[in-house]
Amino acid sequence: MALLFNKSIVKNTLQYLNLRLFYIWLLFFFFFLVAISPEISAPYAVASTYIFYYLLYLINNTIFKISLYFLTISLVIYYPISMLYGTINSGIIAAFLETNFSEAASFLGGFSVDMFILPFLYILSLIILIRLLKYNIKPTIKSQKILFIILIVVFLFTLLYSPSVIYFKNNYDWEEKTWKLSNTPINIISFYSEMYNSFESYYTEKKLLENAKDIMVDWNILSTSSQYKNYVLVIGESARKDYFSTYGFPLQTTPFLDKTNGYINQGYISAAPGTYHSLLGSLYFKEKEKKIDYAYNIITLAKAAKIETIWLSNQGAIGKYDTIASRIGASADKQYFIKKAGYNTSGETDDLELLPLFQNELKKENPTDKARLFVLHLMGSHQKFCSRLNEEEKKIIFINENLSCYASSILKTDAIIEKIIAQLQQQNEPYSLIYFSDHGLSHINKDDQEKVTLDYSGKFKQNYAVPFFKLSSDDSDRTVVNTQRSAMNFIYGFAQWLGIKSQRLGQSYDFFSEKNDSAIKVYNFEQMLPFNSLESDPIPYYLTK
């Protein structure tokens, strides 16, 4: 009896599932689809995409099918590309539009077979879906009137909710806010609107880069008296202060900096936890209560003071998160971008490749006797730490492979700075070098010795606590200070360093004094927050015991 009863339950369940197989498969299909674009919060995205397509299905079979094909083809092409180059941005668009034939060939060479497994399964599940569609008894809109209306309301809500939340939550006042449809969780809509945005920003960025050189700026220079002949600004990447032995790391990661004379600040705080916003906050001048005017930056300031400017970069030149620095760089008298646009994985270039270019420029005759400013923008300790290093450079052993590479990349940056100083000394002219890192990183997977590593975040003090030091030819001692200094005031220090007095910047602020900046705020990707309110993310030494 019990057996019979069970059998009929199974039978009923199967019959029930059979009738709804199409809908179940459709859900599976979108689950899969969201897995392909993982940056969107998954359950929310599956649900909203599902609703969107269910509505399309109710409205018209052909539109439903065409949009399924369209989506599948887009993602099948896009998935392998995103595996190689990351999510779509104007950098990827630039890579496509500016690639010559040999680069296109090497681009194709970067793909591997396993990148096509998911796209293949995706096509397969589409075929099954279309078969099931054929046998599914379609409900009419009439029979589902109330559900239809509810779903339309839910759809519109999900479509508009996320972009609006992101728009209103963003309270930082440096740049114009924009409401972006690409922030919607409905996959196909965000995909194509992001694609559109990327094309659009590629063309705008390109134009801005081309025009950067001709911008005339009125800094209102009162006087210039440069103390040194050669100024070098080294912008580091993703380097946390506490991984430098100079700042307390127990293994020797900065042997050069540990013993050199100079000015070393332990209280420097970056403007933001990512390259773009950090450099936006520190290399540009922002008047109180105003938006950033891109014309006012460190290069136009140096040029206004008749200082020759040379920009040497190992970071990409185009792409949403590259442009803020490269746009300044493009306005320098001379510029070298050694990395190909948008190639952030296959086209790795070593920071060391900047050094011969630097030396070459340094040695050039300088008949005008002007002071010169060299800016070196490093890849430093950027993620995929091990790919910053060749085998011999992997010298430090700390917790696991990733963190060992991270610590070794700090050692490499220290060696690069030592080499730059040696080149400057050879030149036999007064020099001064400033180094700071654009931002730090924080630990993830902290309870697992194998998996613990560093990643971007805006949550912790260490995402902002970065090294800052100044090494000059006339330093007679080693001054280590702990002055709370916000990177948002860097431009004042920059002007002081170069001996520039500008009416626009005023004279009252002394960047190199020991007076702390009060109530330092940082931009955590969403809003401005007091630095002191952040949590701490110490190095997980417990794993080393």
Nearer to Zn ion, 266 or 275 (CB): 275
Q: Compute CA distances 394 → 192, 386, 400, 441, whole Å.
A: 42, 8, 12, 20
State in angstroms the smallest separation of the CB of 394 from Zn ion: 22
Sheet holding 372-377, edge to edge: 334-337, 308-313, 372-377, 230-236, 431-437, 468-472, 262-265, 478-481
Closest C-alpha among 349, 330, 319, 324 to residue 94: 319
State in angstroms the smallest separation of the CB of 106 from Zn ion: 26
Q: Judged by CB under 5 A, how many residues of this single chain contact Zn ion?
A: 3
Can residue 438 be called a binding residue for Zn ion (CB under 5 A)?
yes
Can residue 322 be called a binding residue for Zn ion (CB under 5 A)?
no
- Residue where the block lists tokens 């140096």: 302
Question: Residue 297 has what DSSP assignment?
Answer: B
Please answer whether residues 159 and 21 qualify as being in contact, where contact means their C-beta atoms are separated by less than 8 angstroms. no
Residue 408 corresponds to which amino acid? S
Nearer to Zn ion, 229 or 377 (CB): 377
State in angstroms the smallest separation of the CB of 324 from Zn ion: 11
Structure tokens at 482: 């702990």
State in angstroms the smallest separation of the CB of 116 from Zn ion: 32
**Identified binder of Zn ion from the candidate list 275, 309, 408, 442, rule CB under 5 A:** 275
Instruction: Give the count of beta carbons closer than 10 Å to the beta carbon of residue 245.
Output: 19
Stretch that binds Zn ion, among 250-258, 271-279, 303-311, 479-487 (CB under 5 A): 271-279
State in angstroms the smallest separation of the CB of 239 from Zn ion: 9
State in angstroms the smallest separation of the CB of 10 from Zn ion: 57
What pairing do the DSSP bridges indicate for beta strands 521-523 and 478-481? unpaired
Nearer to Zn ion, 438 or 517 (CB): 438
Stretch that binds Zn ion, among 237-245, 259-267, 302-310, 473-481 (CB under 5 A): 237-245
Nearer to Zn ion, 44 or 456 (CB): 456
Stretch that binds Zn ion, among 87-95, 317-325, 359-367, 434-442 (CB under 5 A): 434-442
Q: Compute CA distances 243 → 401, 466, 544, whole Å.
A: 15, 10, 15
Nearer to Zn ion, 254 or 275 (CB): 275
Say how many Å lie between the first and final Cα of the chain, rounded.
Answer: 63
Question: Please, which residues have CB within 8 angstroms of residue 266's CB and are 6 or more apart in sequence?
Answer: 241, 247, 480, 481, 482
What count of Cα atoms within 13 Å lies in the side-chain half-sphere of residue 54? 23
Nearer to Zn ion, 277 or 485 (CB): 277
Stretch that binds Zn ion, among 158-166, 201-209, 267-275, 536-544 (CB under 5 A): 267-275
Nearer to Zn ion, 414 or 438 (CB): 438
State in angstroms the smallest separation of the CB of 426 from Zn ion: 30
454 φ/ψ angles, rounded to the nearest 5 degrees: -115, 145
Nearer to Zn ion, 122 or 268 (CB): 268
Largest pairwise CA distance in the chain: 104
Looking at residues 485 to 524 of the shown chain, list those that interact with Zn ion (rule: CB under 5 A): none
Binding site for Zn ion (CB under 5 A): 237, 275, 438
